[in-house]
Amino acid sequence: MQARGLPDTPVALSEPESLFNELSGYLKPEDISQLKNAYLFSQSAHSGQFRKSGEPYISHPLAVTSILGRLHLDIQTLTAALLHDVMEDTHITKAEISERFGKSVADLVDGVSKLDKIEFQTRADAQAENFRKMLLAMSQDVRVVLIKLADRLHNMRTLAVLEHEKRRRIARETMEIYAPIAHRLGLNGVYQELQELSFRYIFPKRYQVLTKASKAARGNRREVVDKILNDIRQRLKDSGLEAKISGREKQLYSIYKKMVEKRLSFSEVLDIYGFRIIVNDIPACYLALGALHSLYKPIPGKFKDYIAIPKANGYQSLHNTLFGPYGTPIEIQIRTSQMHRISEAGVASHWLYKSHDINLDDLHTKTHQWLQGLLETLSDSTDSLEFLEHLKVDLFPGEVYVFTPQGRILTLPKESTAVDFAYAVHTDIGNRCMAVRINGENAPLRTKLRSGDYVEIITAPHAKPNPAWLAYVVTGKARSHIRHFLKTVQYDELAKLGERLLNQALSSLKIDPTSISDFQWQKLARDSGAKSKKELLADMVLGKHLPAVLSKRLLSPGNVASKANGMSEAITIMGTEGMAVQFSKCCRPIPGDLIVGFIKKDQGLVIHVRDCSVIGKMHGNPDNWLDVTWDKNISKLFEVSIKMVAENQRGVLAKVAAEIAKAGSNIDNVTVEGEGAYTAMHFILQVSNRSHLAQVMRGVRRIREIIRINREKS
């Protein structure tokens, strides 16, 4: 059975009967009857709703169902496609869908429904949580993501009615997430169309220019293309090979990407046409390759055998680039009919071609392994945004193929290191790896792998992940497992150190640590965003909390002692507390300023100048504000912001810099703005205290060209 491609333009479905007639080619009559019921149910639920284009909303579920029907998806998937928005946009519940159409259909609809009823802090959080839920459902049933991809494809086809910024945001999300997922699942037609549509809306002017250039070039190159097609047909016929040969024009996004990566103009991209040759069996693929090599010379280093080593999404073909007539490079793909079907339908071929073919079984095994790997990453990620970051990395289209000592082939993203390989083999191998041999030679763990490398990981019982690995690992699995180890396995050591630091702080307040009740600990942990006392102590060592602050908050069951009861004492700031104390960038406090502290989640104690205008805009728990004061013996330098207005004369900046240096201060940063007679200069200086700052400003004021100088706050 020949796979049918997806339509190039939105399907006009003013009459749903045209869809049902199309689907009756492979569905049973009772299946068509169920689809009609689902259509009527969805039409009733969406009654009165319209798309931005003005069409009745039901046109969208019909179009999504049509896309999936062309992939010959099963009746449950098509029913869910007709209903995929009813839970999100109407009052219909999952229980109602389950009762009427079955649990499987209800689960599929639920899997693709957005989480609009949950309050998210940012659009990024909502997007990340949507992907998290979608992939959890997808791990149970891959049809969830097939519906989601068809939904996104139709939305992209009809994107023109939205405003420019919204079009661009949706197109970027499609390019970064949906198109790579389609590629990973082997849905080549969906992948290419999503990429092309995304390119059109992300870079509309570039798309228009390339479209015009491509149309002009098409006529000029038609004669060359026809000659190549005729030559290939004749050579294969002379070699006794039956083959279907087609020429295809490269997509605009593919051309654009090549222009950017290789810094070429459009006229320099010669290979805008590719040729596909479909033969009867695998031996014929290699015979056809030999025949073409006798016709046109191959370009060294361009041959790729994806038949012997299939891509992770099941794709198989021989790829090569040849020198054609007039020196034109020709890209060719040689594959069997079955390989072609899988390249078009990917994981959906499970429903499109019901068979027990070994290649299909292997494809679904690889897809299952990929999904399980995503679930591992999901369980190790602390939040949805971190998971989305890992997902984008794992969907990176470039791949390298490396061998284990047992001869197994592993597929990894480009730029992957030996540590990525170790975690790809097994989590325990990654956690215990201490060295690596690549192609029989010792190599650093940070070594980037290349296709064909033979990799052997050396482990040791005492070895453990190194935080430095996070600087160079590529795969989401490796990154999430390293982070998970550092957060959990080392917690005992961190908590013990945290306990010592806190006991020291309590002792300085003449408080016996054993007198603190469990209730006080539980309340303090809860108020600090920690799950337990151990996590609170570990977070303190990691710089999220200050021992002096925690000790004061433990003084009473209400934790932070109020000023009214006289128990509160100002916390002394040394300036050497590290990550646990941060000096606000808005007002840049320095010793001598009257200051106040604010406990901010994940940032520790943030210090502001008392008259900082930002403080008035912050609405937080009063218990999070603390009295703080400077230590009398501080030797550290602090940043401060200064603004100067000067006459626009040559050499003024040099004079200012000289005076600042003369006063013993350092310039950390300087920006200059303005034109005409006067110039504004913004400096970030390093000073030891307010007296030092006053000395600097006095020196600068002596410069004749300086009109005004003042300290900037907020």
Kindly list the catalytic residues.
Answer: 88-89
Is residue 39 within 8 A of residue 16, CB to CB? The reply is yes
Is residue 150 within 8 A of residue 81, CB to CB? The reply is yes
CA proximity to 328, closest of 275, 260, 259, 262: 275
Q: Is 712 helix (H, G, I), strand (E, B) or coil?
A: coil
Q: Residue 560 carries which DSSP code?
A: S
Other CB atoms within a 10 A radius of the CB of residue 425 amount to: 17
Question: Across-strand partners of 105?
Answer: none
DSSP H or E segment with residue 136: helix 123-140
Residue 692 burial by Cβ neighbours in a 10 Å radius (0-12, 13-18, 19+): buried
Between CA 154 and CA 147 the distance in angstroms is 11
C-beta contacts of 332-335 below 8 A and 24+ residues apart: 332/274, 332/275, 332/276, 332/277, 332/292, 333/274, 333/275, 333/276, 333/277, 334/276, 334/277, 334/279, 334/285, 334/288, 334/289, 335/276, 335/277, 335/278, 335/279, 335/285, 335/307
Sign for the pseudo-dihedral over CA of 394, 398, 402, 408:
positive
Other CB atoms within a 10 A radius of the CB of residue 573 amount to: 22
Is residue 293 within 8 A of residue 233, CB to CB? The reply is no
Q: Residue 273 carries which DSSP code?
A: E
